[in-house]
Every structure is written in structure tokens, then in C-alpha cells.
Structure 1
Amino acid sequence: MTASGIRIGVQLQPQHADYPEIRRALTEAEDLGVDIAFNWDHFYPLNGDDEGKHFECWTMLGAWAEQTSRIEIGALVTCNSYRNPELLADMARTVDHISAGRLILGIGSGWFEKDYQSYGYDFGTAGSRLDDLAEALPRIERRWERLNPAPTRKIPVLIGGGGERKTLRMVARHADIWHSFSDLDTFKRKSEVLAGWCAEFDRSPDEIERSVGVRPEPPAETGPAYVEAGARLFTIGLSGPSYDLSVVRDWVAWRDSL
């Protein structure tokens, strides 16, 4: 981590691309100096041709663990509904070992109905999926305590989302990183809500790294205001078929200038 504490991530969305192109972008991202490379946990593209090329999340993370040597890796975010919590804990522990302690477990409650319908998962409701996530997180933590060998470190948990009654409560209780998909004003307000939940669990809000997704725009336009509001991790999303990392280079240079 730089002296400023600011980190840069890139989400290589595994859609519309052949895997060699994804691997090239991953290698370029590490060479540029990014701190974290994320993919996402879906079965179909989220934009463009909805039946276009797409690859599975966790199989890919196992490959990334071998194809990189420095950066952290993870999903932004894993869908809790798609895997038994104990299995997911074991998968995360395994990739943690393959990567020599560089995995982040990004997780959320799920939302993309086409994934659920096509692969035979019960879509339920937004509320029931959040309740399932709240039940899964302690199970994941307990499984990590039982696995042999144990994880190489306390695997950081990233929770994505901004629901003030359920999601941010889970963040306060379980997460090391909170990822927000919101604009600046909403980010500030939800940070205050999160601080309130942290007080409920006798936890300092400063223990939770604040993460935001940023559009491909010059960092000087948005970065300073988010930093002032408490954000420390900035992630740029890129889609296939080719991955233009020029904007990522700008964000890395901005980080290094602080």
C-alpha cells in the first residue's frame, strides 16, 4: 500500500472476450501497478449481447492466482446464492493458498435474475437473498476455522451494496472492505449509516476500508472528493472483447502522486 493509503483496483469483466485477452489484461494490470484485480460472478454478459462470450468467476480466480505474483485478486462480487457457504469457504481458502495469501472474498446477495433462472437457482426476493447472505457469512467464518490447512491469513471480506437496514449491518459485523456503487452524496450518507451500525457492534468504522467503483474518467475529477469522504479503494470496470487500460494507468499515476 502506498503512503497515502490509496489503492487502485481494476474489474476485468469476463464478458465478450476470449480468455487469452483476459489473461493479457490481467498481466498488463499487474505490470501497471494496480493493487487488486477483480472479476465478477455472473454466467451471462450484463451488457451488449446477453448471449455473448462469458466465463465463470471462481475457476478464473484459481488461474489468476497462478498467473499473478503481487496483486490481490477477488470477485466484485461473488453471488452468495450460487454456492453452499461451506463450499465457498473452502474454495476461497484454496485460492488463498494458491495465491500465497492474496485473495479477497468479495460477496453480495445476488440480483441478476437471468443467472438464477438459467442455472436453476431460486431467485426469491431481494429480502430473502439478503437474509440468506446474513446466514451464510457466519457459516463461512466457522468453516475457515475448521479447515486443514487453515487459510494463510484472515481472508479479507468485501461486501458490496448499500442497503441501510440489512447490508450495511452485515458490513459492520463481518466486512473488512465495503464497496459502494453510489454517487458521492449517497456515499457520504451511507458512510454515516455504516458508522452507526459499527457502534452497535463496538467496532471502529476506520477498520473498514471504503471502496468505490469509478467510471473511466480522469481521476482528478472525482478522486479527491471521494478521498475526503473516506474512500481509499478505487476500482475501474473494463469489459471485453479488448481491455483498454489507459484510464487505469491514469489512476495509478494519480495514486502515486499523493
Structure 2
Amino acid sequence: MRFGLFIPQGWRHDLAGIEPELHWGVMAGLARRADGIRDWESIWVYDHFHPVPYPTQEAVHEAWSLMAAFAGVTGRVRIGQMCTCMSYRNPAYLAKVAATVDVISEGRLEMGIGAGWYEHEWRAYGYGFPGAGERLARLREGVEVFRQMWTTGTATFAGEHYQVDGAMCFPRPLQGTAFEGSQRNGIPMWIAGGGERKTLRIAAEYADYTNFLGTLEIFKAKSDILKQHCADIGRDFDTITRSSNFNIVIGHNAKEVEERFRWIENHLRGAGVPEADVALSLQTYRESPTVGTPDQVASALADLEDLGMAYAITNFVESAYDLSGVELFEREVIPALR
């Protein structure tokens, strides 16, 4: 199994209480740390502008600015976003940005992309909030623009939502050209989301990786549907790497796990999150399959690996303040799955 690590950027109130002038030092330090530990193949951030589970005024740092910054302070680990919202940026422009980051990183970029869902920030930023059908149509059109620009250097596309006429992307990304990488898309493309009729169909057509919910029942169901979409279009299902995101709440024993939950609860309250949203967030964390002792977490991931989940992207909500959970995972969980 392969492993990625979310770097706290504020979206989950995971920088609250840290002075803004220290934010980059915290993020860069954690990125450099992961860069030096071979077990971490990649580092990730979220493409969001307002925090969850409630939009307080706590800081959230923008994903693509961080992509370029992380590219400059690391030298091995791959860098990605889980996942970029297609409608937040023109796809031709975003393809150009991504190609530049791929060059800066010397071919280490992963492109996570999805249709988007966080209505509050959509409306706040003036994007409206179109229905799911339109958001998914934009996703499909946008990834076609990406592929053209990255693999040929230009794109011409006349869609319902996006039109480009000879948009140029030089230099092209290093991946798929000078460097070994995805031959389908140039930059490896992660299609995120589990929508059965449209999102997984788009993934069958374009994805190098998928990312959908990592519970046993849901992961199996989505995988079966993705496999059928691949069969329908004549694509080899096994050429797509399936991944999931996991909130890790880990301790040596049940007492330590509960102490970590109490820390999360108090931390969110201290950040000004209303009680109802604190409760909702705790429920989300508790429902993660990766809660418990190292043996329990490793067992849960092994069960998912048996279903084809080959890449775990992990989030430790406390990592900007306390690395003991990350260290325990590195010491006892990752080796069990290697």
C-alpha cells in the first residue's frame, strides 16, 4: 500500500491558535519532514477557501499557491490537492498553472480534480452554485482541456461551459514528456468523487487514480461500478489506482484514542465552531474506519486493500500541534502494510 499525508493548511481548523506569521513555517516544516521519510509517497492539501465544519474566520491557505511553495521546499515527495474544484478556475489557465508547478517540482505533481460541493464558499466567491449535472459537465469538459494541453501543448475545445481556441501550454509538464509519468494525461489525474452515473464514468475515461469513500461496503460498491464503466468503454480497469482519504485518530490504547477525541473537541470549540458543528465533526471522525490502536487501524486498511484500495491519503487533525499520532502510524501501521 502507498501512503500520502495531508499537510494542515487551516481548512479543518488545523492551524487555529497558531499566529499567521508562523503558518508557513509549520506547513513547510511538516512538508520537509514528510519529504525525508520514504514511507510517505505524497503530501496533500484541500482546495477550499472557507473552513469546515463551520465557516469561521480562521485562516485557510489557497491550494495552488501551496503547490508551488511545497515544490520549492521539497525534493522527493509528490505534491497534490484533494481535490481541486474545476469551476473555481478556468481549466486552460489551471492546466498552465499545473504545468508550471510540474516543472518547478521536477515532475512531482499530482492533479486531483472534482466537481465541487461546498456551497457556502461557491456563493461567497461569486460562482453561484449550479446543479450537480452542470458541475459534472464542467468537470468532464475541463479534464479534456487538461489532457489536450498537457499531451500536445495546445487545446482547442468548444464545449457548453468552456471554450478554448489554440490555448498554448509550453513548456509542457515534465511528466509524460522528459520524465517518466502518466502516459494518458501528462500529469497523473485523480478524479475524486463517487457519483455512480457520471463521476465514475468520467473517471473510467480520464483517471489515472480515483478517490472515493473508504468504508468496506461503499468502496466495494463504487469499485464494481467503476469496473463496469471501464468495461463499457473498453478500458482496462486495473490501469486505474483506487485511493481513499482517511481521518486517523490513533493511540496505543482506547484511553489514548479518547484523549485524542477530547483534544479535537476542545480545539474546535476554541476555534469558535458552534456546538452542533463540533458534534457533527466528531461524529465524522468517529465513523472513520481508521480509528483505534495501531493493530485496529492496520487491520481496517488491510481489509480495504483486499478490495483493491491501493493508496491511503491520511489526515491527522492535530499534526500542526502534536506529531505523536503521525509517529505512531509511521512506526506501527505503515510497516504492517508494506
TM-score using structure 2 length: 0.71
CA distance in 2, matches of 1:82, 1:12: 21
Identity of aligned residues (%): 35
- For residue 151 of structure 1, the aligned residue among 173, 192, 209 is 173
The aligned residue for residue 44 of structure 1 is 50
Structure 2 residue 135 is matched with structure 1 residue 129:
yes
- For residue 24 of structure 1, the aligned residue among 29, 42, 57 is 29
RMSD: 1.8
Q: Is the 8 A contact 1:14 1:55 kept in 2?
A: yes
CA distance in 2, matches of 1:168, 1:38: 22
| Residues 27/133 of structure 1: CA separation in 2 closer, same or farther (3 Å cut) | same
The aligned residue for residue 6 of structure 2 is 11
| Offset of residue 138 of structure 1 | 0.5
Q: RCO (CA 8 Å, sep 6+): is it higher in 1 or 2?
A: 1
The aligned residue for residue 255 of structure 1 is 334
The aligned residue for residue 90 of structure 1 is 96
Could you list the runs of 5+ residues in structure 1 that have no partner in the other structure? 1-5
CA distance in 2, matches of 1:138, 1:241: 36
| Offset of residue 49 of structure 1 | 5.9
| Offset of residue 247 of structure 1 | 3.5
Question: Helix, strand or coil: the match of 2:36?
Answer: helix
Q: Tell me how many residue pairs correspond in the alignment.
A: 253
**Larger-gyration structure (1/2):** 2
- For residue 198 of structure 1, the aligned residue among 218, 225, 230 is 230
Q: Match for 1:35: what amino acid?
A: E
Could you list the runs of 5+ residues in structure 2 that have no partner in the other structure? 16-22, 154-168, 176-185, 249-290
Question: Helix, strand or coil: the match of 2:60?
Answer: coil
The aligned residue for residue 298 of structure 2 is 220
| Offset of residue 50 of structure 1 | 2.1
Question: Helix, strand or coil: the match of 1:32?
Answer: coil
**Which string of whole-angstrom CA distances, capped at 9 and with x for unpartnered residues, describes residues 36-56 of structure 1?**
100011111113662211111
- For residue 69 of structure 2, the aligned residue among 58, 63, 67 is 63
TM-score using structure 1 length: 0.92
